[in-house]
Structure 1
Amino acid sequence: MPTSRDTTASCDDVWNVLANGWTYATWVVGASRIRAVDNTWPAAGSAIHHSVGAWPAVLSDVTRSVGTHVEREIRLEARALPFGKASITLRLHPIATGCRIEIIEHAITAPFDLVPNRIQHLLAHPRNAEALRRLALLAERSTAP
């Protein structure tokens, strides 16, 4: 079950935020800074090199693009040390008032991948809801006069 949020920003506006890897730490809960973004981001295989945590407990991490449907979907593989990896899909749906953003996240490494998806979604929902709130605000800001 995805976490979703409606925004007055268009799908194009939301996509522009997603396609700018330097904004990642602004909307992703837990990411504290961006160290580098591959020139080909968000193309499949490209990566955002970021850090998670608060100083002095900062870990270097990476999120890779697994694939995109430009302006509609991005699939990511996020490493979350020491917890393993997660598969994350963000989908953008045009609606009459703007865009509906959906996020679906699943653990893909043991032992967390053994937790049923329904439980994973419940546990990730508060963080993902906040991430979508931030993403929507960034996209809406880009359209403000």
Structure 2
Amino acid sequence: MSETERLINASVADVFAVLTDGWSYASWVVGASRIRDVDPGWPEPGHSIHHSVGVWPLLIDDATTVLRHEPLRLLELKVRAWPTGEGKVEFEATEEDGVCHLVMREHMTKGPATLIPTQIADPILHVRNAETLQRLALLAEGRTPPPN
């Protein structure tokens, strides 16, 4: 399992505002290229974001579904990008000294990607997820007005 963490100069509420805005997903998730639809009820469990991954003309249409949501604390997702596979991603937030400490955990659960040894997959996921958290941080930090 790959685990990546980041301190974000924003409140947990601002970070979760981005995490739970299904339409913003392609803005911060590395590899997501567009959002086709967001289920009414997102981010409640069982609801999905319908997205495309990849680069045109090699786009894969698939979905990400909420497995668990604890407002302002935890968001667990089932992510899919078949034919490569399926995985679970968890975002866990805590407040530390007025900023958000966000931990992102990801592991593959089904499909050909599960055949990649952890020693190879985890460092690749870590680099990808560090960029994902950087993008998410920029969006969340932009929601908060700078102090006077």
Q: Give the TM-score taking structure 2 as reference length.
A: 0.91
8 Å Cα contact 1:85/1:107 also seen in 2 = yes
1:70 matched to which residue of 2? 71
8 Å Cα contact 2:38/2:49 also seen in 1 = yes
2:132 matched to which residue of 1? 131
8 Å Cα contact 1:44/1:65 also seen in 2 = yes
Determine the C-alpha separation between the residues in 2 that align with 1:23 and 1:37. Answer: 10
What is the SS of the residue equivalent to 2:129?
helix
8 Å Cα contact 1:92/1:102 also seen in 2 = yes
What is the SS of the residue equivalent to 1:53?
strand
Paired amino acid for 1:106: H
Determine the C-alpha separation between the residues in 2 that align with 1:114 and 1:57. Answer: 23
Paired amino acid for 1:36: D
2:36 matched to which residue of 1? 35
List alignment gaps of at least 5 residues for structure 1. Answer: none
List alignment gaps of at least 5 residues for structure 2. Answer: none
Q: How many residues align?
A: 145
CA RMSD across the alignment? 1.5
Q: In proportion to residue count, which structure has more strand? A: 2
Paired amino acid for 2:6: R
Report sequence identity in percent. Answer: 44
1:143 matched to which residue of 2? 144
